[in-house]
Structure 1
């Protein structure tokens, strides 16, 4: 995976996939928990998990699949889908990238403080496998990646949060992908995607699907809260999260682990935060969940004013996102990112983004009030027919 191929706009994984080939190994399993610095920074044990652990929420991971036999993921991985043509249920992962994302979201560890813990350890993972090459490329220069089918599958199979640690500039002009994002937004789903790992080489913009209006675009920071040097920046960025020296689950063996740097890992942490909020506050719309994460984000350590092109609205904070927030909870249910302008500009062929105010009927069911309106209309029509018949008889 060379820089020149990336700059040409070919589809690439948003995280450092090749770095996941470096494995911590079984002997280091007991040390993995100590190496998960993001959990310590978030004070997960004391400030997050007593409030929410993501129970009852399904997070779709559109990626390379998920190795369901990993010891820290047993029982967490639902039977999913596969748009790669391999005809699996998504619980197969020859690359390891999807397995690592699943671990950061919903890993439950094993034994006494051993193994990987996800930030939302009681959430369930719906794996949706895509065709990914060994060097991290997906699809083609036209953006025909199967992404639209993968996203629709995730939405139609109950995902309330969709983690998309993948990216490509080619999706910008893909009408099916754009329509699938609008479909997911209309179904009250929180969409989270990685900004990309070029570090704005040669002016590289934010990747798609992160750049689509309505999607939470995530960049990566290090342990000091500084932006990772290769994290793509731009006006679409929404939040940043830990993405440097990240330990997680591996696909090589049930007791194997790996590490990586990348916006993919940061994306997984933000997806986990969305799951925590959806679990704690199930009546909130996807838009309100996003608003909670935006309004509760921690300020950048450099004191810069937010939102900006590097930090977005700030550093995603699970404990603050879970705190009482009546202003958001009683406010608009609409997705606050639908009005976001694409820095590259939407293609002329792109249809308008439909502003959807998600409610209880967002799952596709017909609203109850609509039945009432229909009954009134039917009654009025019936009465009208009766009057006309009587008049005809009198004549």
Structure 2
């Protein structure tokens, strides 16, 4: 079947949403001085926001930072609005003022410096028709640092071909866990052979990457999977202040598959081998509610989309915790808003290497996909068994490297789940949820640049563990210098299909210190 997880033809921005970033305000020595500033007259933009709230046009205001007191997620204004006066946004977040809760976009939110660049809130409006007017008003407010549409981010994997399902055999319970789809013998995995995995591990003085922290920002992870349970150092999925608070389960399986390629247990007589023994820190950036996705060609499906607040909170957490590598097997056509850009700049400045998938829209003209196209990010394309670029992998001059991304065996949750649902027309002509696109359990072979990207994330973990420089630019240079110039590159050092070549883990480690 065709790709399920692609973003071509889908909206590049979320409907009826804006990110608003406030300018940082000076700290105050006393509560009274802080409150005096909070009660100062509002700028035109915040007055417009207050007017929109009074008219019932604001559904919700959610601070990106989890440090905001009480996770304030609804903006309310002073009772003065009932008397026809222009309301003020006052007080301390969560404080009760005359029986009303104080709003999110107040002094304390502006003082909250955990969000890179300044305090940011997500404003959700009742209608997309109101976005432009409010955006213009807020942009003119001197207390607002930036206001931007919210870029949509989607998964960048393809559904496994149903034609290959008949080739998957069921197996009995194996020691440590059951297996639904049977992977090949771990020592015959073609993808690991291509990147010279065994040769790298046989190098004199080779060190395991168990001390390296690799963040997987994705659909979640099966933290009890027998091939992953000992590799997980942390898992964040709870967001009690968000309307679609998610469970610990990885319903789609995408994040578990990515994590397995990076760090499934090695030589444990079960399932597959991961590229490394890095420690996985997982952040679930999807909630458990599928969205109706309408494509520009008139078709539709019910699928999962990155939650913008969960995503930005995960990036901020990664910066706070100083993770070494981030795997982002997601993409979308919308340019980053200022908060997303600031988060990436902070991560890169702190030495974190970020790898992201190029996307799977090659047949649609290889549209630019973010975050892969963000400066400083290592963008990864997908190759097949013949060392050729796959028929879905996007091309572009921002690509850094290619890695195996076709029929990649990896872990899936041990419990059932689905990658989405078909959208069907109901009697009234509207869309309704149809049959689920059920996934395998335990293990399966998936294609996608999503599957290529974790090969590079695992390789970077090895590079760092073996003495490589913890600097994103240095890592990129090392990957470029060590990549194999495959025949399909036609003798060129760089092509928009392969970047600097196909990943070679052995040469990446050999090149350290040279």
Query: Who is 1:261 aligned against?
Result: 447
Q: Is the 8 A contact 2:363 2:391 kept in 1?
A: no
Q: Choose 273-282 or 227-236, whichever is displaced more.
A: 273-282
Per-residue CA deviation, residues 5-28 of structure 1 (Å, 9 max, x unaligned), is 632444321112566996765165
Query: Who is 1:7 aligned against?
Result: 9
Cα distance between partner residues in 2 of 1:165 and 1:130: 12
Per-residue CA deviation, residues 217-272 of structure 1 (Å, 9 max, x unaligned), is 00000011100011011111110000001100011349821111000010000001
**How far is the alpha carbon of 1:174 from its aligned partner?**
1.7
Q: Is the 8 A contact 2:194 2:504 kept in 1?
A: no
Q: Is the 8 A contact 1:198 1:230 kept in 2?
A: yes
Instruction: Select the residue among 311, 322, 326 that pairs with 1:162.
Output: 326
TM-score (norm 1): 0.73
> Residue 24 and residue 212 in structure 1: after superposition, are their counterparts in 2 closer, same or farther (change >3 A)?
farther
List runs of 5+ in structure 1 lacking aligned partners.
328-395
Cα distance between partner residues in 1 of 2:376 and 2:217: 17
1:114-193 matches, within 5 Å, as: 114-120=270-276, 122-131=277-286, 136-139=303-306, 144=308, 146-170=310-334, 172-193=335-356
Match status 1:65 vs 2:209: no
Q: Is the 8 A contact 2:5 2:159 kept in 1?
A: no
Q: Choose 52-61 or 5-14, whichever is displaced more.
A: 5-14
List runs of 5+ in structure 2 lacking aligned partners.
13-152, 171-178, 291-301, 417-440
Aligned residue pairs total 319
Q: Which has the larger radius of gyration?
A: 2
Cα distance between partner residues in 1 of 2:161 and 2:343: 31
Q: Is the 8 A contact 2:261 2:275 kept in 1?
A: yes
Instruction: Select the residue among 361, 365, 377 that pairs with 1:198.
Output: 361
Question: Which fold has the larger relative contact order, with Cα–Cα distance below 8 Å and residues 6 or more apart in sequence?
Answer: 1
Per-residue CA deviation, residues 266-325 of structure 1 (Å, 9 max, x unaligned), is 000000111000111155433222211111111032224132211111111111110134
Q: What is the CA RMSD across the aligned residues, in angstroms? A: 2.9
Instruction: Select the residue among 209, 212, 233 that pairs with 1:78.
Output: 233
Q: Choose 144-153 or 51-60, whichever is displaced more.
A: 144-153
> Residue 91 and residue 139 in structure 1: after superposition, are their counterparts in 2 closer, same or farther (change >3 A)?
closer
Match status 1:44 vs 2:44: no
1:17-28 matches, within 5 Å, as: 17=159, 26=179
Query: Who is 1:94 aligned against?
Result: 251
Instruction: Select the residue among 267, 280, 285 that pairs with 2:471.
Output: 285
> Residue 281 and residue 306 in structure 1: after superposition, are their counterparts in 2 closer, same or farther (change >3 A)?
same
> Residue 136 and residue 198 in structure 1: after superposition, are their counterparts in 2 closer, same or farther (change >3 A)?
farther
Cα distance between partner residues in 2 of 1:104 and 1:322: 19
Cα distance between partner residues in 2 of 1:282 and 1:240: 20
Q: Is the 8 A contact 1:32 1:247 kept in 2?
A: no
Q: Is the 8 A contact 2:5 2:155 kept in 1?
A: no
Q: Is the 8 A contact 1:194 1:210 kept in 2?
A: yes
**Greater helix content:** 1
Cα distance between partner residues in 2 of 1:117 and 1:307: 30
**Greater strand content:** 2
> Residue 94 and residue 146 in structure 1: after superposition, are their counterparts in 2 closer, same or farther (change >3 A)?
same
Q: Is the 8 A contact 2:463 2:512 kept in 1?
A: no
Cα distance between partner residues in 2 of 1:274 and 1:2: 29
Cα distance between partner residues in 2 of 1:3 and 1:246: 16
